[in-house]
Amino acid sequence: MGAGNFTLANAETVYVDDVYVIGETEEEQMDQDSINWKYEDMVETILEQLPDSFSAVKNEWYEGGSIIAENNFYTVVVTGWQGYYALSVVLKDNDNRYDWGINPLAAHHHAGVAHRFFDKVHDIYPLRVPTSAWTSGPYEKSIAA
């Protein structure tokens, strides 16, 4: 039995197939320098799609993934998982004004912010979304931008 689809609590998540990042040929997949360079290129490309309110982050980790950007409300995390990279927009649990720690304004806008961002990334990398615990299907761009 496999590991299932990657998920994070309080997050909107899509998947980028690693073939778009590590290469299609066996030689490209075996060349670790090429893999590292292509991964870094993917992260840089993803960062360029974020709104100006986000700042790039280096060398920070979240639940096994790499934090690549954040703002006051959200954290963007890339996690390598079973042949793909999971790209997640996670709600920050850092607002001490609320017992539950999450700003209600951030929670209300979470899906919209994440999907506008994913729509831009989807123009560059074909994305997938979980359709069950074990399967995924093609990402479809949001109707409302």
What does the pLDDT profile of the chain (145 residues) look like in tens digits? Answer: 467 889 999 999 999 987 656 555 666 555 555 556 688 889 999 999 999 999 999 999 999 999 999 999 999 999 999 889 999 999 998 777 777 778 889 999 999 999 999 999 999 999 999 999 889 999 999 865 5
Is 56 domain-assigned? yes
HEC letters along 80-99: EECCEEEEEEEECCCCCCCC
**Tally of domains within the chain:** 1
118 is in which domain, residue-wise?
11-132
Residue 145 lies in a domain: no
Residue 128 lies in a domain: yes
- 108-145: b or e for each residue (b if 16 or more CB lie within 10 Å)? eebeebbbbbbbbbbeebebbebeeeeebeebeeeeee
- pTM here is 0.85
Whether 68 is covered by a domain: the verdict is yes
